[in-house]
Structure 1
Amino acid sequence: MKTLKKIILPVIIIAFASCEDVVDVEVQEGPKRLVVEASLDWEKGTEGNIQTIRLRESTPFFNTDTDTGVIGASVVVTNNSSGDSYIFADQGNGEYLTTNFEPVLEQTYSLRIEYNGEVYTATETMTPVTDITRVFQDREDGFDDEVLEVHVVFTDPEEEGNNYLLKFQREGDLLPDLEEGEDEFVNGNEIDWWYEIEKDEDTHTEPFKPGDVVNIEMHGISRAYYDYIKILISQLGGVGLFESTPVAVKGNCINNTNPDNYAFGYFRLTQVVKTSYTFVEE
């Protein structure tokens, strides 16, 4: 123990002393890659015919340039069963739009992108979602019994293998919170999913209060997308001193022309239910 203390003490002194110096670190830049944001979400109660796919190029971590939209690409989605194809027209700003998409539950679709002489493809199935049956507020189930939380209640279908992506965004907040779920241990049961916001003085984040409105989305997602988004959500939580460094997570978009030049992002097709809740005085 004495020997260990003798080793640790000089290390601590050196660490604090080094904080006084400014160190310029040259960050290695990777190759630019195509980033595919192809989330075809079909809200229940709508036709789902208007869909947008976004393409851009990746940028270095410290680059503040946000004008990286890709133009001039060819983007087509095909229903593998019917053979119907839907052309996504270039809008000149990195967005590609179609107004005649026909979503069919449990049908498999293929995405094909041609860009810079290379062909990218991906395949995914339109995944259904159950209905939200009730939304209410409480203080009992969260990490802090003095903080308001919102509860989303739904019944998981009897079929095994249902996966969910829930998005919560309080009106006025810049970004939503994402949470993923599976039915491995709750298959066929009623599920009460709660969500709270904890106070964070560093980010000036405050818990829910009466009058706050939270918008809620629940998506039915494939198992492959569940595995993908679970990793991304874990990385969104930040990196601590002893946590693993986030790494690039490959999606399902494959470069058929040059496999080494793979794309980031994902091609997903989900059915989604949306609702909102306004917190009230108790």
Structure 2
Amino acid sequence: MKRYIKNIVVLIMASLGLLACEDVIEVEVPTGEIRLVIEASLDWEKGTSGNNQTIKLSTSTPYFETTNNTAVTNATVTVTNLDTNEVFDFTNQNDGTYTTTVFVPVENNQYQLDVVYNNETYTAIETLIPVPDINAVNQSQDGGLDPDLLEVNVYFDDPADEDNFYLFRYYEDGDLFPYFEDYSDEFSNGNEIHDFFEKQEDDDNDQAEFQPGDTVDINLYGISEGYYNYMRILIEQYYSGGNPFSSNGVQLKGNCINTTNAENYPYGYFRATQVVKTSYTFE
């Protein structure tokens, strides 16, 4: 018994010694420069006029910054159709968003974005890419990665004799994030394309498997090759997070450039797309 008590005393004294030796170490964390963030997605939904468009501007923040108000409210935003020279002014809503109700989308026309902020001009050029109609949407349980899970299938015809690039967006109400997938017709040019999506349970993202009665929203975008390359890297880096065998992430730059001061480049991308939207409810 004495030996047992003695051992406990030794353990307690050792623990106290360790606590007494604790030092607070402050680590200097490098912070990047504050940059303009441009969220400019001109998405023309099939079957609509596409007149209403919104562009959002904000600034980047250091990793440990807790300030939420990063909206840019003192910029000037315009979009020009380079084929027709028509200029669309975006109205400042004083909350970081800039809107228009008179935008005119035209397939395969080039559009130029111009943002003037802090006496510097940011610009980008993008072509508005059309998108095919969706032929069919159905469900199955044997074509995905897990034969026990429900998946949704999407079918559409890819135009022949041209290079095409697509972006899929799948989202079920209640999910933390939508799921994105990029696609090139390099090996399926001119054929019917089939894409599927299934969800696996993920507690970190509050995501559950598809069940009968669930409804998933589906967006199919026609995108440019430049935006395809941008999204391919972004998607790869996002979904490989936590994988010890994945390659190191890289700083991703979009197509927006600072024509006044090239070193003060912005984050974000200016895209112009046509999109077809649908939804599917599992049986």
Conserved in 2, the CA contact under 8 Å of 1:34 and 1:58? yes
Q: Which runs of 4+ in 1 moved over 6 A?
A: 20-23
Does residue 182 (structure 1) correspond to residue 172 (structure 2)? The answer is no
Among all aligned residue pairs of Structure 1 and Structure 2, give the percentage whose two residues are the same amino acid. 52
The secondary structure found in structure 1 opposite 2:135 is strand
Conserved in 2, the CA contact under 8 Å of 1:239 and 1:245? no
Find the aligned partners of 2:92 and 2:274 in 1 and give their Cα distance. 25
| Alignment equivalent of 2:127, drawn from 125, 130, 144 | 125
Conserved in 2, the CA contact under 8 Å of 1:199 and 1:206? yes
Q: How does 1:103-114 map to 2 (within 5 A)?
A: 103-114=105-116
Conserved in 2, the CA contact under 8 Å of 1:128 and 1:271? yes
Find the aligned partners of 2:59 and 2:159 in 1 and give their Cα distance. 39
Partner of 2:146: 144
Q: How does 1:127-276 map to 2 (within 5 A)?
A: 127-237=129-239, 238-276=241-279
Find the aligned partners of 1:64 and 1:159 in 2 and give their Cα distance. 51
Letter in 2 for 1:191: I
The secondary structure found in structure 2 opposite 1:30 is coil
Q: For residues 111 and 202 of structure 1, do their structure 2 counterparts lie closer, same or farther at Cα, with a shift above 3 Å needed? A: closer
Once the two structures are superposed, residues 75-133 of structure 1 have per-residue CA deviations (whole angstroms, 9 ceiling, x without a partner) of: 00000011100000110010000010000000001011100010001000000000101
Q: How much has 1:172 moved relative to structure 2?
A: 1.3
Q: Please tell me whether Structure 1 or Structure 2 has the larger radius of gyration of its CA atoms.
A: 2
Does residue 38 (structure 1) correspond to residue 44 (structure 2)? The answer is no
Letter in 2 for 1:273: V
Once the two structures are superposed, residues 30-54 of structure 1 have per-residue CA deviations (whole angstroms, 9 ceiling, x without a partner) of: 0000000000000000000000000
Q: How much has 1:191 moved relative to structure 2?
A: 1.2
Letter in 2 for 1:138: S
Q: How much has 1:199 moved relative to structure 2?
A: 2.0
Find the aligned partners of 1:65 and 1:43 in 2 and give their Cα distance. 34
Find the aligned partners of 1:24 and 1:204 in 2 and give their Cα distance. 34
Conserved in 1, the CA contact under 8 Å of 2:73 and 2:96? yes
- What TM-score results when the alignment is normalised by the length of structure 2? 0.89
Identify unmatched segments of 5+ residues in structure 1: 1-19
Partner of 2:80: 78
Conserved in 1, the CA contact under 8 Å of 2:176 and 2:207? no
Q: How much has 1:175 moved relative to structure 2?
A: 1.3
Partner of 1:11: none
Q: How much has 1:243 moved relative to structure 2?
A: 2.5
Letter in 1 for 2:95: N
- What TM-score results when the alignment is normalised by the length of structure 1? 0.89
Partner of 1:61: 63
Q: How much has 1:204 moved relative to structure 2?
A: 4.6
Q: How much has 1:21 moved relative to structure 2?
A: 9.5
Q: For residues 152 and 24 of structure 1, do their structure 2 counterparts lie closer, same or farther at Cα, with a shift above 3 Å needed? A: farther
Find the aligned partners of 2:273 and 2:231 in 1 and give their Cα distance. 13
Q: CA RMSD in A?
A: 1.6
Conserved in 1, the CA contact under 8 Å of 2:177 and 2:205? no
Q: How much has 1:192 moved relative to structure 2?
A: 1.3
Identify unmatched segments of 5+ residues in structure 2: 1-21
Equivalent pairs counted in the alignment come to 261
The secondary structure found in structure 1 opposite 2:234 is helix
The secondary structure found in structure 2 opposite 1:120 is strand
Once the two structures are superposed, residues 142-170 of structure 1 have per-residue CA deviations (whole angstroms, 9 ceiling, x without a partner) of: 11000000000111111321000000001
Find the aligned partners of 1:127 and 1:165 in 2 and give their Cα distance. 11
Letter in 1 for 2:76: S
The secondary structure found in structure 2 opposite 1:133 is strand
Q: How much has 1:23 moved relative to structure 2?
A: 6.2
Conserved in 2, the CA contact under 8 Å of 1:150 and 1:195? yes
Tell me which moved more, 161-170 or 60-69.
Answer: 60-69
Find the aligned partners of 2:221 and 2:118 in 1 and give their Cα distance. 33
